[in-house]
Chains A and B, each alone.
Chain A
Amino acid sequence: MLRAGRPMRVGVGLKEVLAHLEAQVQQVLQVMSFSHSDITAALSDRVRLDYSSREGLADSMRAFKSSPGYEVTFSLLNPDPQSHHLHWDIEAAVQSYIQPLLSKLAPVADFSLDSQILYYAVLGVNPRYDPSLNAYTLNADSLSHVINPVEARLGSSAASSNPVLNFLLYVPDARHSPLYITDHRKNTVVSNAFSSPRWGGIMVYNVNGTELPVDINIDMTRVMGVFLAQLRLMLGVQSSAPPPGFLVGPCGPAGLADWELDRLLWSRSVENVATATTTITSLAQLLDQIGNIVINDNIAEQVSAAVASLQLAVGQLEVGNLGLALQYSKEAILQSERAFFDPSLLHLLYFPDDQKFAIYIPLFLPMCVPILLSLLKMAAEARQRRRERQDKKD
C-alpha cells in the first residue's frame, strides 16, 4: 500500500517519525488483516449468523466451500459455427494468465485446468432488442435463467469429485449481435460479463462480421482479465477498499498479493476446522441415537487422529503459522470424513427395538394368553375362597 501523502518536515528524529506514522500503519494493518466479514464468510455454512444487509449475505455465499481440489474449466460457446469460425489460443492464455495465480495458490488446493469448445450451444434466454442502444440486451433479472440449458452440455468431470469452476465465453450468433448485459439501472456493464455464486462466470464477446462466414481470433487478454477477476472472487479472495488517502499497489504477476493469500489461508483453515468439528460431533450424536452400534478399531483411530490434527491446527493458528495450520486442518477433514463415511456405520444395519418386538410377539403371545387367563381365574378363586372364609368366621 502506498500513501498519497502530506509533505513532512526535514530533520526530525526516528521516534518522531515512527510516532507520526503509527496511526497510518494501524490503518493499513486493519485493512490487511482478518475482519468480521472474513469470519462470517468462513463460518456461514456452519453457524447461523444474522446478516445486516442483503449484500452481506450475497458476499458470504459467493466463494466456493473449502475443498482439497478444484477443477477450472474454460468453455467457448459457439451457437453458429456456420457463420462464425472462432479461434482461441487458450493454451497460451492459460499458461500466461491463469497458471501463475494457480501456482501461487498451490498451498490452498490442487487445481486442474481444462478447456473445451461447444457448438450449437444457446443461452436459455432470448435477448430483447433495445432500439436506444441499437443492440440486443440481456437484463440482470433474466441472468438467472441463462445457465440452465447450457449446464447440461458442460459436463462435470467424470473422473473426479472435485467442485468445478466454469468460465464460459459466449459469442452471440449473427442474428443477435451485438449483445450487451444491462444491470438493474439499465446501464450496460463494461466488462459484459456476470458471475454466478459457487458456479462460475459468463462473458459475452461481440464480433463484427459484415460478410459471413467470418474468421475471428479472440482477444484473449481482455477475456482473461475478466475471468481472472471472477476467479479471484470465486476462490474467496475478499477485496476490501483501502482507507481514504491510501492507494493499493499492483500485485505481482500472479495476480494475488501475499497478504491476500495469507487471508485466504486463514479463512480456509477456520472453515476446515469448523467442518471437521461438525463432522465429529455428528458422529458422536449418531452413537447416542443407536445404542448397539459397533465401532471398529480403525474408526476409533481415525477419530482420535482427527481430534489431534484439529488441536494442532488450532495451535498453529494461534502462533501464526498459516501454511502449517491449513495443512493440519486439511488432514483433520480427511480423517474425520473417512471415519464418518465408513460403510460399517450404516444406520440401517442395526435393528431398532420395535422390529425386535414384531418378530417375537407372534411366537410368544399365543403362549401367554392361556397363562394370563388361568392366572386371572386363580386370582378370582382365591378372592372367593377368602370371602367364604370371612363369611364362615362371621
Chain B
Amino acid sequence: MATHRCNIFMLAFVLCGLTCVFVREELVIRPLHSGDIYASFQFRTLWDTDFLRGISHYRLFPKSLGQVISKFSVRELHISFTQGYWRTMQWGQPFLPSPPGAELWVWFQDTVTDVDGAWKELTNVLSGIFCASLNFIDSTNTVQPSASFKPLGLGNVTDQRFLRYAVLPREIVCTENLTPWKKLLPCGSKAGLAVLMKSEKLFHSSFHSQALHFRPVCQDWKCKSTVLELRQTLNVVFDLHTSGQGKREWSLFKMFSRTLTEACPLASSSKVYVDVTDNPQGELFELSPTTPLLSQVVVLGDRRTYSVYDLTNQATFGQTRSLNMLLRWRAAENMLRPLLHGERYVAGYGLQTGEIHTLMYNNHPYRAFPVLLLDTVPWYLRLYIHTLTVTSKGRDNKPSYIHYQPSKDRLRPHLLEMLVQLPPNSVTEVTVQFERALLKWTEYTPDPNHGFYVGSSVISALVPSVVAMDTNSTRECPLFSSFFPCKEESSYFMRVYTEPLLVNLPTPDFSMPYNVICLTCTVVAVGYGSLYNLLTRTFQVEEPSPGLAKRLANIIRRLRGVPLL
C-alpha cells in the first residue's frame, strides 16, 4: 500500500506538468516544563502556476484565496488570529509567533499602482472570507515598517511602499473563525490531521492561534523556478489544570477528544512528531505506542530529537486502526531559559499622562546581539519622543538605527523602529512618555470604560544558536523547522511579541446631553413662567383663610351636607 502510494506520486510528479500541487501535513507535540502541552499543526500546499487573467483552474489550492491573490496582485500574505498570550518564560519559544488579536501584513507586487486602495479592498474581502472584523483596519492602524518585516519568501524587493502591516488587538477568535479556515484545507476536516480540530476542545485552552502564510518559494535547490506556497498553521497550548484535570498525563484523546484513523489521501506526507529530547532513556515520561522512527531536527537554535509517527504507513495505526499517543510523566524537569524575551507595561497615574516601558531580556551568558524593536502606538496616545530613553544595565544605550514616523490625528499612528544592541545577560529598558488625547464624542466605542488597546510590540532578532543551522532549505526537513529562511549557520531568526496594552482615556459623561436638555427646559420654564406671572398677575384683597383644623372640619361638614362654619 505504501509503495503503491509512492508510485502514484512519482507518476503524478512526472506527468502533472503545469499545475503541480503537493500537500504535506504534520503535527508536533511538545511537552512544556510547566505541565502544559503544546500542539502545532502545519499544512502546506505548493502550487506551480502563472496567473492568467480571467481563467484560473484550481485543484488543491483553495479557489477563494487564489482569486483574491490574483485580483489584488499579492506577493506575500500573512494573517493570524490569536486568543491568549504566549508566556515565553514558562513555555519557551513557539515555532510560529503571533500577537494577541488579529495581525495582517501583506507585500504587494511592484506592479500595483494604488497600494492604499488595494489594501483597503483586500482587508474587506479577507474579513468576509475569515468571518472576522478586519474591516476595522484603516489608515489609523496601518503602518509601513521599514526593517522589521522583510519578505519571508523569495524576492529582493526592499521598497516598503509595497508593505502594509496592521494589528487589531481587540479581535476575539472563536468557532466562526475556525470554520472558514478549515474550509481552505484540501481534505477539509474529514480526513487526516484536521479531524482533530474540534472547536469545543481547541478553544478550551490557554493559547490558541490560527494563521495563514502565503509566499513564493524555490521549487528545488537549483531555484530555477518559483512555486507558490500556502501554509496554514494552528498552535494550541492545553493547560494542565483546565484540560488536564491536574494530572500530568496527556493523550491525543484527552487533548482533542478524537484519535487519528487515516491520513489525508491527497497528502504526500502526513507525520506526527513528539519531542523526546529531554527523555533519551525514557526516564522523564513514557511514550506509547512506541515507534522506531526517530529524527533529529535543528530548530530554534537547538538540536532536538523527535519520535515520528508516519500516518501514510498503515502499520502505524496498529490493530485498533486508530492512533492515540499517550505521554505519562514520571519526574519533574527543569527547562532551558529562552534567549530572548520581551515585556511591556504602562506606568504613571491619572488620565493625563503616562509612560510606556518596554523591557527586553537577553539571557545569553556571554553573547550580545542586536534586535529590531517595532512599536505602533495609536494617535490618541501622543508620544513625546524627546523623552525616549534606552538603558541597559543602568547606562545609556544609543540605538544605531531609528526610524520614526510621527502620527497625524485621525489619520495614521506613531511608528517607531529601533535597532538596539542587547548586552549579554541583561535587561534593556525603553521608556517613552505620552499624553492622552480627548476624543470627539462620536469616536468612543460603546464600552469606553473598558479601555483602548495598543497593539503588541514586535522584537525581531537574529539570535546566535548553540548548534549549526542548516542553510540548505530544500532538503526534506519537517515543516516546523523550515518556516523562517535561514541565511547563516550560526544564528537563526526569531520574532517575539510583547503583551498588548490596555489604556484608559479620559472619558466624558455620556448622559450629559440629556441632562443639558432637561436643565435648560426646566430653567426656561420656571424662570419664564414666574416672570410672566409676576408681570401679568392682578392682585385682589381676600379674607384670611381659616386655620387648618377649621378647614378640615369644613370639608367634613360639606360631605355631611351640614352648613359650614
Binding site for B on A (CB under 8 A): 73, 81-82, 85, 90-91, 94, 112-117, 119-120, 153, 155, 157-160, 362-363, 366-367, 369-371, 374
Contact = CB atoms under 8 A, between A and B. Distances in A.
A362 B522 CA distance: 9
B129 interface: yes
A85 B8 contact: yes
Interface in B319-350: none
Interface stretch (B28-36, B56-64, B137-145): B56-64
Interface residues of B, number: 39
Interface stretch (B99-107, B182-190, B285-293, B481-489): B182-190
A161 to B, nearest CB: 11
B524 interface: yes
18 contacts: A73-B63, A82-B265, A85-B8, A90-B57, A91-B57, A112-B55, A114-B55, A116-B58, A120-B190, A157-B67, A159-B71, A159-B125, A160-B71, A366-B528, A366-B529, A367-B525, A367-B528, A370-B532
B525 A366 contact: yes
Contacts of A367: 524-525, 528-529
Given A85-B8, A159-B67, A370-B529, A120 B188 contact: yes
Contact of A158 (B67, B262, B524): B67
B265 A114 contact: no
Interface in B528-543: 528-529, 532-533, 536
B54 interface: yes
Interface in B52-93: 54-60, 62-64, 67-68, 70-72
B125 A158 contact: yes
B191 interface: yes
Given A85-B8, A155-B63, 16 more contacts: A81-B187, A81-B266, A82-B265, A91-B57, A112-B55, A116-B57, A119-B188, A153-B188, A157-B64, A158-B64, A159-B67, A159-B125, A362-B517, A366-B524, A370-B529, A371-B532
A29 B150 CA distance: 68
Given A119-B186, A362-B521, A367-B525, A158 B129 contact: yes
A112 B54 contact: yes
Interface of B: 8, 54-60, 62-64, 67-68, 70-72, 125, 128-129, 183, 186-188, 190-191, 262, 265-266, 517, 520-521, 524-526, 528-529, 532-533, 536
B24 to A, nearest CB: 16
Nearest to B518: A362
Contacts of A94: 55
Contacts of B190: 119-120
A196 B520 CA distance: 64
Nearest to A79: B190
Most A CB contacts (10 A, CB to CB) among B59, B60, B187, B536 go to: B59
A115 B524 contact: no
Contacts of A82: 191, 262, 265
A116 B63 contact: yes
B58 A114 contact: yes
Interface of A is mostly: mixed
B538 to A, nearest CB: 9
A155 B61 CA distance: 13
Closest 7 pairs between A and B when the two form their complex, measured CB to CB: A366-B525, A159-B71, A120-B190, A116-B58, A116-B63, A115-B57, A81-B265
Contacts of B67: 114, 157-159
A158 B54 contact: no
Most B CB contacts (10 A, CB to CB) among A85, A94, A114 go to: A114
A127 B518 CA distance: 69
A371 B517 CA distance: 22
B58 A115 contact: yes
Contacts of A157: 64, 67
Nearest to B520: A363
A116 B186 CA distance: 11
Contacts of B72: 159
Contact of B191 (A113, A120, A155): A120
Contacts of B129: 158
B531 to A, nearest CB: 10
B266 A363 contact: no
Most A CB contacts (10 A, CB to CB) among B186, B191, B265, B524 go to: B265
A117 B58 contact: yes
A93 B59 CA distance: 16
Nearest to B521: A362
A95 to B, nearest CB: 9
A119 B524 contact: no
Nearest to B70: A159
A94 B57 CA distance: 10
Contacts of A116: 57-59, 63
Nearest to B517: A362
Contacts of B64: 155, 157-158
B194 to A, nearest CB: 11
Nearest to A82: B265
Contacts of A155: 62-64
A106 to B, nearest CB: 12
Contacts of A120: 187-188, 190-191
A155 B59 CA distance: 14
A157 B66 CA distance: 10
Most B CB contacts (10 A, CB to CB) among A158, A362, A370 go to: A158
B392 to A, nearest CB: 48
Contact of B521 (A91, A366, A371): A366
Contacts of A366: 521, 524-526, 528-529
A366 B54 CA distance: 69
Contacts of B56: 114-115
Contacts of B59: 116-117
